[in-house]
Amino acid sequence: MKRSIKVFTITALAAALAACGGDGSSSGSTGTVSIGLTDAPAMDLSSVNVAFNAIRLKPADGDWLEFTLEETGVIDLLTLQGGVTEPLIASEEVPAGNYSEIRLIVNTAESWVTRETQGDARYTLGVPSGEQSGLKLKGTFTVAADTSQSFTIDFDVRKSIVNPQGRALGDYMLKPVLRLVNNLEVGQIEGEVDYAQIQSTRLNNDAQDTCSTGYFGAVYVFEGAGVEPVDLNVERDGLNPLMVVPVIEQGAGSLYEWTAAFLTEGTYTVSYSCQLDDNQVDDDIQFDGTQNITVVAGETSVADPIPLQP
């Protein structure tokens, strides 16, 4: 999808995701930045289409700045998995200095979702204040002078889409869970899952928690080492999954792979489940292959195959 971008005040979003550190500013100085959008979903929706109208930036000591899309771009967030990104702006020149907030303005009339079990039927997507104040990313970030920087907004659809259960704004509600990363400070984890072996083992053991039909499972990623995995609705000692990434079938059932991208340097706990997590109640799902992985910026770490070999 290609979109032309027209700058009205300055190219706001570019400045927003700059690296932390000193204010990097001097009178009249500028830097250039590129911004992309990514997602790490695993859910029963087959598409989540969001139309972004404008992007706003709040300087720490100034008025709101805004630029809009000349033609509204509708992005299916579920296509942005495994490190895939959708560029929002590229190499835009912006004033150097500190910024305190980003807002993504959404055209709710052009935003919708579809479900795997309902074919092409569209369901409305309610976004509270989406066309007024927008989706908010708060925090302090800096654009350094005379540098080129690239950043990514991680839009976690799995945590962001909820069933409103009768509310009037839409069939589904968007309550965004967003994360900002500097592309120079992140790496990724890749791995494989022997889904057929896990399913066969559970069936042979007459397990009550066999794998969900037609679903190849997901890998849960937690910050820190030695985390006891829990599903999305449970917070144990404040450790909810940072992201849940889908396991993708490659070929005719011979290989199942996963990628957790845009992770800052550090140690993570990863664990796999082939059971569906509805993000509504404590599902008490079973996990396999729990292990610790260290992420290094600019590198790909490879997890041990799941299930782990004795």
- Residue owning tokens 């927008």: 134
| pLDDT at residue number 17 | 42
Residues 6+ apart with CB under 8 A from 146: 29, 30, 31, 96
The helix (run of H) or strand (run of E) holding residue 192 is: strand 186-192
Q: Choose between 69 and 91: higher pLDDT.
A: 91
pTM assigned to the model: 0.79
The pLDDT of 54-65, averaged and rounded, is 80
The pLDDT of 265-292, averaged and rounded, is 85
Domain parsing of the chain, residue ranges: 5-176, 188-302
Q: Could you read off the pLDDT of 105-147 as tens digits, one per residue?
A: 888 888 999 987 767 789 988 887 767 787 888 877 777 889 8
- Residue owning tokens 């992985």: 293
The pLDDT of 275-283, averaged and rounded, is 68
Strand residues in 77-157 grouped as ranges (E): 86-95, 97-106, 112-115, 122-126, 135-143, 148-155
pLDDT, the chain, mean: 79
End-to-end Cα, the chain, rounded Å: 46
With 90 as the cut, is the pLDDT of residue 282 above it?
A: no
Q: Could you read off the pLDDT of 1-25 as tens digits, one per residue?
A: 333 332 323 233 433 444 444 555 5
With 90 as the cut, is the pLDDT of residue 298 above it?
A: yes
As given in the structure block, the two tokens for residue 277 are 């997590």
With 60 as the cut, is the pLDDT of residue 162 above it?
A: yes
| pLDDT at residue number 235 | 64
For the ranges 43-57, 67-81, 107-121, 184-198, the lowest mean pLDDT is seen at 67-81
The full length of the chain comes to 310
Give φ, ψ of 206 to 5 degrees: 55, 40
With 70 as the cut, is the pLDDT of residue 246 above it?
A: yes
Residues linked to residue 152 through DSSP beta bridges, in sequence order:
36, 181
As given in the structure block, the two tokens for residue 120 are 């092409």
